[in-house]
Amino acid sequence: MTLQTIDPLTAKRLIDNGAVLVDIREPDEHARERVPGARNTPLSRLGSLATDAKAIVFHCRSGARTSGNASRLAAAVAGEAYILEGGIDAWKKAGLPVAIDRAQPIEIMRQVQITAGALVLAGILLGIWVAPAFLALSGFVGAGLMFAGISGRCGMAKLLGLMPWNRRLARVAA
């Protein structure tokens, strides 16, 4: 079973008439930026969704995660369900309200991208200007990223998750 995609204005009408908006992004993503009233049920912990709502509208950031997991999302609900086309990005472009909490840290995966990029760049620059042995740093980071992609486990994300700025992730009221 696949889910029908709907535009943000149609989704808003459904929500105003009793549908539940479910954000399938991870809690760190939801804490930083969210649609007010959206229920955070991360895809990584998705089971079956029990609700008395008329319908469920799933969303992520861009729509790619929801579209790519449509059959899994459909299996999690017993009733009517939809995917918000374009995710929260499209919701914002439609001029609909979004709550942003800049006190929350940026998403872990963005932190991984920033850190990995900085380490690779540092390894190359140090390898060119200081000693060629520093090129191994870039190789190490590249190997770690390959391992993360193959295994689905990212050591850098786990390490960054332990950093003080990520410990203050507040529980966000949906």
Distance of CA 7 to CAs 20, 63, 64, 162, Å?
A: 15, 11, 14, 38
Q: Which of 60, 70, 90, 108 is catalytic?
A: 60
CA distance 137 to 27: 31
Straight-line distance from the first to the last Cα atom of the chain, in angstroms, rounded to the nearest whole number: 28
Task: Verify whether residue 60 is a known catalytic residue.
Answer: yes
Amino acid in the structure at residue 46? L
Q: Which residues contact 65 (CB under 8 A, 6 or more apart)?
A: 24, 25, 43, 87
Distance of CA 20 to the CA centre of its chain: 19
Catalytic residues: 60
